[in-house]
């Protein structure tokens, strides 16, 4: 399977689709309603309530929504990696890793605030990394700020990703005051619309109180999930080492993209310390950029047995996770 995704080909999208169905089969059999926790924001709770009411007669809709969102993100991650020339040759390992990692890590089997946050972070990252090839990126500057503003309303600690935008603009773009101003304007725009909504419908402003509880969420995972998550983290570290040692052969633009990906991964890893939400939920955005470092761990090693063995182990963890989720 790793040999198929080593080269980029249009038929790989269909193979990736089948690949995802196989490793996520259990989530189609055992659909889950949207998860709502006391720490979730007003916006997310309102959205979850509306979706639950809208699809109350068929929970399978949520399984299909999650699957197709992951599939679309995997395709766009592959396209971004190849367009920005992050590797010496085009490949589709990023999409494969995204599907595989999200099938192993808990939290990706149901609609929750972490899933929604991860989608927004992925969208921001995909726009940000393509800004280096635009002469005029004012529209994209506003868009990434607007998406971050929505993310902050859904999950308060997402404000940390503002550093991702600022560092990314420094690395990928020459300084233009208009673009920076548009980023901050975009961040404030969702808050303005929400305040207008609350005022018009006479809702208390206290619903916007941000949730910050410094510490680390307590969580206990089964042994197979702990081992699977540990293997993913090890692959991300291996991929980081390979990406650093091979950057001299890449274009300056590609090296800056790798640096931006590292910043995104670092911010995602410290995110759980700003809210004692479910640990599995707060770690979900890590896989958005982490899957690209995982792709490097599959792409660069000369000893192919290492990548094949890692893939088989993660495949086993994904199938095991799906099997036990049926009895959850």
- Three-state helix/strand/coil letters over 56-79: CCCCHHHHHHHHHHHHHHHHHHHH
Q: Residues 221-232: what's their mean pLDDT?
A: 78
Tens-place pLDDT, residues 83-98: 998 998 899 999 999 9
Query: Lowest-pLDDT range, 71-85, 138-152, 244-258?
Result: 244-258
Q: What percentage of the chain reaches a pLDDT higher than 70?
A: 89
Q: Please report, for the chain, the start and end positions of each structural domain, with discontinuous segments joined by +.
A: 12-325
Summary mean pLDDT of the chain: 84
Confidence at residue 54, expressed as pLDDT on a 0 to 100 scale: 82
Tens-place pLDDT, residues 82-138: 999 899 889 999 999 999 999 888 778 888 888 999 999 999 999 999 887 777 778
Tens-place pLDDT, residues 5-44: 888 888 888 999 998 888 888 788 877 778 787 777 878 8
3-state secondary structure the chain: CCCCCCCCCCCHHHHHHHHHHHHCHHHHHCCCCCCCCCCCCHHHHHHHHHHHHHCCCCCHHHHHHHHHHHHHHHHHHHHHHHHCCCCCCCCCHHHHHHHHHHHHCCCCCCCCHHHHHHHHHHHHHHHHHCHHHCCCCHHHHHHHHHHHHHHHHHCHHHHHHHHHHHHHHHHHCCCCHHHHHHHHHHHHHHHHHHHHHHHHCCCCHHHHCCCCCCCCCCCCCCHHHHHHHHHHHHHHHHHHHHHHHCHHHCCHHHHHHHHHHHHHHHHHHHHHHHCCCCHHHHCCCHHHHHHHHHHHHHHCCCCHHHHHHHHHHHHHHHHHHHHHHCCC
């Amino acid at each position: 399977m790793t040999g198929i995704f080593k080269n980029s080909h249009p038929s790989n999208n269909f193979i990736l689709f089948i690949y995802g169905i196989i490793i996520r089969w259990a989530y189609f059999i055992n659909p889950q309603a949207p998860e709502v926790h006391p720490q979730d924001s007003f916006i997310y709770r309102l959205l979850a309530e509306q979706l639950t009411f809208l699809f109350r007669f068929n929970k399978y809709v949520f399984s299909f929504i999650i699957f197709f969102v992951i599939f679309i993100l995997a395709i766009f991650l592959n396209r971004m990696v190849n367009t920005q020339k992050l590797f010496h040759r085009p490949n589709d390992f990023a999409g494969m890793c995204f599907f595989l990692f999200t099938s192993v890590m808990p939290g990706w089997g149901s609609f929750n605030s972490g899933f929604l946050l991860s989608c927004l972070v992925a969208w921001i990252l995909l726009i940000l990394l393509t800004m280096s090839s635009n002469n005029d990126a004012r529209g994209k500057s506003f868009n990434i700020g607007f998406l971050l503003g929505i993310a902050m309303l859904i999950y308060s600690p997402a404000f940390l990703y503002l550093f991702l935008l600022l560092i990314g603009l420094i690395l990928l773009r020459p300084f233009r005051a208009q673009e920076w101003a548009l980023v901050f304007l975009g961040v404030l725009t969702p808050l303005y619309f929400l305040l207008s909504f609350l005022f018009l419908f006479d809702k208390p402003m206290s619903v916007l109180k941000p949730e910050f509880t410094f510490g680390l969420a307590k969580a206990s995972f089964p042994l197979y999930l702990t081992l699977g998550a540990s293997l993913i983290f090890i692959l991300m570290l291996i991929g980081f080492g390979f990406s650093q040692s091979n950057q001299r052969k890449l274009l300056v633009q590609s090296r800056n993209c790798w640096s931006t990906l590292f910043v995104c991964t670092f911010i995602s890893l410290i995110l759980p310390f700003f809210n004692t939400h479910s640990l599995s939920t707060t770690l979900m955005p890590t896989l958005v950029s982490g899957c690209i470092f995982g792709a490097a761990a599959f792409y660069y090693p000369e000893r192919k047995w290492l990548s094949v063995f890692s893939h088989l182990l993660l495949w086993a963890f994904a199938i095991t996770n799906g099997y036990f989720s049926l009895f959850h």
